[in-house]
Amino acid sequence: MKTDLGETVEAPDLTTSLKITLPSPRYYDGRRQNRRSASKTRYFDQSRPVDGLDMNPVSVRRPVIHFLLAGMLALGTAMGFSFYASHAAAERMALDEIMRITELHSRDHIGAQLTDAALAGDPAALAALDKVVRENVLDDELVRVKIWTQDGVIRYSDESRLIGQKYALDGAELAIFNGGPPVVEEADLTESENQFETQSRLLSAYVFGSSVDGTPVLVEAYHRYSRVDSATNTLLRQFAPIVIGALVFIELVQIPLAWRLARRLRSGQLHRERLLSHAIESSNAERRRIASDLHDGVVQELTGVSLSLAAAARGTADAHPQLSASSASIRDSVVALRTLLVDIYPPNLAEEGIQSALEDLMRRLEARGVDAQLTVHVDASHLANAAAGLIYRSAQEALRNVASHADASHVTVDVDLQGDTAILKVEDNGRGFSDEDRVNKANNDHFGLRALTDLITDAGGRIVVRSQVGVGTRVLVEIPNAIHRREGDRQ
């Protein structure tokens, strides 16, 4: 009989009971540091979210920094809209002010001096009107005055070269003669009537007026555009500190709240991780107890019975043939139980290495006539204990499915480490299955893929299963290799 798992057998008398020593506790890996994570499990390229714990702990500093950056962006956006709104409001205020100033000059200065003689081009009347305009109307902001009659003729202007010139009035300007509202707009300096203007931007105000003799006229006044800029700056100086101060105050008030919420989130996650860790420890302790009970009890007893039957079958010539058959059957059962022990409580990967453990799994397939190839691209020392254990569990479940369902003649297992991610690939050339087959299996309580999914979910990784009928199945498992928190995540 072949004794496996490093067992020692003391049998001075085959008819006596045997003492079989339990493998060293270090043979088994009793620690599982898996954490649950919010991950995505994919079947046939179909994704579904899975709730769980994140392998990386929630950082308090990071979300607060994100909150500050988002707040600064919102602050800048709000300030931009505030400046835009302030400019629009200042422009309206400036236009209203220009309209008021133009109406005031038209009524109090120009209207009091404008006579029909001046409208008719009398030099003395025009000179008197021009003196009033230059002394009382024109200033640094109001730079041009024109007086029109309804026929489109400029009857007076402080630019004498325009007097007597005729230009077409537009509809809004003509409407003023018929009681329409005054008009303030940016002057089109490309028009021929503005050929003598040297300013880059001007605002033109049109208001209704009349001579002392009652003749209706249109008074046009050109104002520098800087009046709008000045009004905008004044408004911003008055209200910008209030707007900015209020936004900054709101931002500062929200920072402690964001910090507190982040700390509560982190505390909740750590609590969930502790609960999961306790659950895993309890599960491993129960696995260890069951494995120990089986090994110390049933396995030893069956081994003793097998050896006793074998001795009895060889001890007498007239021994019943069924004794040998029974002994062989019991030995097969013992081998199956030992395999079950390893499945329940797998070897210590930190001591034996992931490659050695996976080779044991591959030998079981080779015993079934399956061509099994294993490739490990990573040194065992570079693989975290938790990640190595989960790689082993994943390969164990995937190869169990190959043996039970795939009817494959060839299977490859590949283990690699890319950055902080441990990667397992299991491919076979078996019969494969469709999405409909998977659903039917799930409905019939075949939980192979579901168990494997939960295993990877517990690790905070992801699994991709692709299969095609008649071609085979490919299982890709990605598991985070991190086992310690970064210092930055602790703050």
Are residues 85 and 222 located together in one domain of the fold? yes
Query: Comparing 67 with 142, which gets the higher pLDDT?
Result: 142
Are residues 207 and 79 located together in one domain of the fold? yes
For 424-434, the pLDDT digits (tens) are 999 999 888 87
Domain membership flag for residue 61: no
Q: Indicate yes or no: pTM above 0.85.
A: no
Domain membership flag for residue 226: yes
Query: Across all residues in the chain, what is the average pLDDT?
Result: 76
The pLDDT of residue 444 is above 60: no
What angle (nearest 5°) sits at the alpha carbon of residue 303, between those of residues 24 and 301?
A: 85
Task: Kindly report the CATH number assigned to the domain that includes residue 395.
Answer: 3.30.565.10
The pLDDT of residue 491 is above 60: no
User: How much is the pLDDT for 332?
Assistant: 78
Q: With cut-offs at 50, 70 and 90, classify the pLDDT of residue 115.
A: very high
Among 231, 264, 279, give the residue marking a domain's end. 231
The pLDDT of residue 173 is above 60: yes
Neighbour-count burial of 426, counting CB atoms closer than 10 A to its CB (0-12 exposed, 13-18 middle, 19+ buried): buried
Q: Measure CA 163 to chain center.
A: 70
Task: Kindly report the CATH number assigned to the domain that includes residue 127.
Answer: 3.30.450.20
How would you label 266-280 residue by residue, b for 16+ Cβ within 10 Å and e otherwise?
A: beebeeebeebbeeb
Domain membership flag for residue 315: no
Domain membership flag for residue 271: no
For 90-105, the pLDDT digits (tens) are 788 888 888 999 999 9
User: How much is the pLDDT for 136?
Assistant: 93
Are residues 223 and 370 located together in one domain of the fold? no
User: How much is the pLDDT for 448?
Assistant: 56
Domain membership flag for residue 23: no
Domain membership flag for residue 133: yes
Q: How far apart are CA 370 and CA 400, in angstroms?
A: 13
Among 170, 202, 231, give the residue marking a domain's end. 231
The mean per-residue pLDDT over the stretch 400-411 comes to 87
Q: How far apart are CA 192 and CA 184, in angstroms?
A: 19
Domain membership flag for residue 291: no
The parent domain of residue 395 ranges over 346-491
The mean per-residue pLDDT over the stretch 307-324 comes to 72
Percent of the chain clearing pLDDT 70 (strictly above): 77
Whether the CB-CB separation of 73 and 289 falls below 8 Å is answered with no
Among 231, 247, 275, give the residue marking a domain's end. 231
User: How much is the pLDDT for 58?
Assistant: 53
Whether the CB-CB separation of 116 and 213 falls below 8 Å is answered with yes
Q: How far apart are CA 358 and CA 356, in angstroms?
A: 5
Domain membership flag for residue 322: no
The closest of 180, 181, 179, 137 to 156, measured between CA atoms, is 137
Number of folded domains that form the chain: 2
Q: How far apart are CA 311 and CA 324, in angstroms?
A: 9
CA dist 119 → 124, 126, 153, 222, 358 (Å) = 11, 8, 10, 20, 110
User: How much is the pLDDT for 37?
Assistant: 33
Q: How far apart are CA 157 and CA 164, in angstroms?
A: 9
